[in-house]
Chain A
Amino acid sequence: MEVKINRLKRYFGLTRAVDDISFSFSSGEIVAFIGSNGAGKTTTMRILATLDEPTEGDVELDGVSAVNHPEQVRKLIGYMPDSLPTHRDMTVHEYLDFFARAYSIPSEKRAQTIDDVQSFTGLGDIRNNTLHSLSKGMKQRVSLGRALIHDPPVMVMDEPAAGLDPRARIELRELLRILADQGKAILISSHILTELSEICGGAVIIEKGKIAVAGTLDEILSQQAPQTVLAVRPAGGLEEARQALMLLPNVENVAVVGNELEARISGGEEEASQILSELMKQGIQIAEFKRRGGDLESLFMQITGKEDEGNGK
């Protein structure tokens, strides 16, 4: 299953929520959809889930257009919105049963399907609890269960990790890995970038409705991070180490952050190892030396920082 987003535009009056974006992803891939608040992530995901109509452009799932055939696309997509089910008068089981019926799962298969989803998402023990009484993590699981009930080949998840405790996040990450291994194409948006970089093979960074960068994680990290940040914790004097670092080639800036030095250098791994050996040669004792540049968080900050500078902010 290949999902193609072709020149998608969505305008609300004069506001360009989504402005000509194109990317694609396919079965077995988990793609991170990253952007600041109001960047256009939810709008794009809603169009993908056929809940909104683009001003221009289209989304195609193996050639089936979400604009022209939304009914067909709904069968292929499991959408997990950022809002959670909160009904006071509905149990977890009844909620899943309703969606199983809504997706026309025949009665002889329905009970088994609901049981499978409940056991996969760990909802079996709370199947008779009302939705209102559940914790946020459990509501997220119910939402995931609902999105999975018709076994869609594509999952679109809007901020599934928002507000979850560390344990629930780890569990969600594991569930996503299993889903990707099952061959589902997953588009996931989140503000927790360190977690995304652990499970995603690709990323699309969107800023003010436009794609800033897109590709596999390795590609975009190597292309977009000419600067590397080194965190150096000297065993001896901080000032002495700072002076030594400042004089080395490729070092552009050094800042003191707590008991560490943060050095911005041009280049990558090779330049970093040269700096380390130079420091050792000069007799500076190093307790800790690590490379910080090149992760999703830095890349995101770099891109959104550029945008702000471009706007004179």
Chain B
Amino acid sequence: MRLNAVLRKFDSRMNPIVVKELRQISRGKFLPVILIGFLFTQLTVTGAAILYNRGSANPGLLLYQTLFSFLTGVCSVLIPAYAGFRLAQERSGANKDLLFISTLKPASIVLGKALSAAILAALIYSVCMPFIAMTYILRGIDLPSAFLQLFVSYVMMLLIIHVGIMIACLPMSRGMIGLTYIFLILWGLVVGFVDIWNSGSNLLVAALSKIDLAEALGLVGILTLWMGAVFSISAALLAPPSSNRALVPRVYVSAAWAVSLVGVLVWCEMNGSYRQIFGWMSSCAALFAFALIFSVSERNKLGARVRETIPRSRGRRAFAFLFYSGSAGGFLWASIGLVLTIAVGSVAVSAASATVSSSQFEEALSILCRTSLYAWIGTTGAVLILHKFLKSQRNDFHDWTIALVIMMVFAWIMSDWPIAAVAAVAAAMVCLCIPWIIRHASAFKPLPLKTAGT
């Protein structure tokens, strides 16, 4: 009886999307085809390795690398594309409204899709585990290391699944979503090919083969932080336009920025090397630069639903302006994030100058600053074109592409310019946008209080 009650409670709490997706997956052809495909390939590869590598000192290592590369390569292409395709299909055509008519929250929809894809990935991993474990008998790598690497690659897979779902959440047609997937897959293949061509082996496999438990946990932590960011962006993209879509992603990214900064500083201090701070700076700067460019596509006019929640006190309202949906607020938030990332990173590295060569640091900093300045130029250029010259009041998701094009054109023109000159152009363009920011900041007010009788 008690077990029944527990099962019923579990059943009630289960994400409906997971139940639906798993039922559909089990009824469809994708799962049996992919499982049989994996089994067949692994049997063939393992058989061939045993037959043709008899003379080799450690045939297990090569077999392990081959199976591991096949598993991660195929899974990172197929599963995110499958999860994304299913979501894109439900967001288009005759099914468009059905997912969004119920009381399911956007976060539940994204979580359900991600969980069902994660279960699918786990099934495929479980099919491969015996073969990968068997390579140990053929003098491959030890089992704990193999399982640790599989675990880390599985977490990477989860991040890629989230990226696949995020692409499907973008307000684009199914065709455009498909093209984006194909572009990313081709890009991944090219990167993988160049990587193998240059180094003679898969760098991911090579890097993972040297990983220890502490590094693996650190990497999983970073991947989880990224996953959270991508998840919050996907949920925001599915949220109704009338809601404050920017709030959760911006709060999450701000918090993750602070947590990751502390984490990376502790890590650097423990290891006595500040090289990792470059990785932190580049990934944070890339995220804020992306947010800066994307801010052009955000709404310019807030609806009653959002305005009702704007704080009434001036101080809190000024702070809230950075976290509420809106082009100007998004521009300011991303700009502050970029400036703080570069400033804090520079201070941290300068403080530990003994462990980092100054020329290396200056070169990395120069690339980061240039990229950030181009992002400012692109964004402010798009803002000026859309709102100053065209006097546009429209909001179009694709407006960010204008910013991207301007950014790329200026990056090409200014590639030989000294950084001070690029900074001067960026500063001038930001100054031209100040009236636009002020206008939006002054319009950021709550709805007037309803008085009795009105």
Does residue B56 face the partner (Cβ distance < 8 Å to A)?
A: no
Q: Assuming A53-B303, A68-B304, is B101 touching A83 (CB within 8 A)?
A: no
Nearest to B16 among chain A residues (CB) is A101
> Given the complex, which residues of B lie within 8 Å of A83, measured CB to CB?
93-97
Q: Assuming A53-B241, A74-B101, A85-B98, is B305 touching A67 (CB within 8 A)?
A: yes
Chain A residues numbered 136-163 whose CB sits less than 8 Å from any CB in chain B: 146
Chain A residues numbered 64-97 whose CB sits less than 8 Å from any CB in chain B: 65, 67-71, 74-75, 79, 81, 83-87, 89-90, 94, 97
Does residue B387 face the partner (Cβ distance < 8 Å to A)?
A: no
> Given the complex, which residues of B lie within 8 Å of A107, measured CB to CB?
8-9, 11-12
Nearest to A78 among chain B residues (CB) is B101
Does residue A289 face the partner (Cβ distance < 8 Å to B)?
A: no
Residue from A51, A103, A108 in contact with B100 in the complex, judged by beta carbons closer than 8 Å:
A51
> Given the complex, which residues of A lie within 8 Å of B353, measured CB to CB?
none
CA distance A86 to B241 in the complex (A): 27
The interface bits of chain A over 144-184 (1 if a CB of B lies within 8 angstroms of the residue's CB, else 0) are 00100000000000000000000000000000000000000
Contact between A89 and B102 (Cβ–Cβ < 8 Å)? no
Which of B18-26, B341-349, B397-405 binds A?
A: B18-26
CA distance A74 to B100 in the complex (A): 9
Contact between A94 and B101 (Cβ–Cβ < 8 Å)? no
Query: Least Cβ distance of B237 to chain A in Å?
Result: 16
Does residue B308 face the partner (Cβ distance < 8 Å to A)?
A: yes
Contact between A101 and B19 (Cβ–Cβ < 8 Å)? yes
Does residue A102 face the partner (Cβ distance < 8 Å to B)?
A: yes
Contact between B240 and A98 (Cβ–Cβ < 8 Å)? no
Does residue B242 face the partner (Cβ distance < 8 Å to A)?
A: yes
CA distance A79 to B241 in the complex (A): 20
Contact between B242 and A67 (Cβ–Cβ < 8 Å)? yes
* Contact residues on A (Cβ < 8 Å of other chain), bracket: 35 or more
CA distance A140 to B355 in the complex (A): 70
Q: Assuming A101-B16, A107-B11, is B23 touching A94 (CB within 8 A)?
A: yes
CA distance A85 to B102 in the complex (A): 15
Chain A residues numbered 9-55 whose CB sits less than 8 Å from any CB in chain B: 46, 49-51, 53
The interface bits of chain B over 1-37 (1 if a CB of A lies within 8 angstroms of the residue's CB, else 0) are 0000000110110101001100110011000000000
CA distance A84 to B93 in the complex (A): 10
Contact between B103 and A102 (Cβ–Cβ < 8 Å)? yes
> Given the complex, which residues of B lie within 8 Å of A101, measured CB to CB?
14, 16, 19
Contact between A70 and B19 (Cβ–Cβ < 8 Å)? no
Contact between B242 and A90 (Cβ–Cβ < 8 Å)? no
> Given the complex, which residues of A lie within 8 Å of B96, measured CB to CB?
83
Residue from A67, A84, A98 in contact with B94 in the complex, judged by beta carbons closer than 8 Å:
A84
Q: Assuming A98-B16, A102-B16, A104-B103, is B11 touching A67 (CB within 8 A)?
A: no
Residue from A46, A68, A71 in contact with B308 in the complex, judged by beta carbons closer than 8 Å:
A68
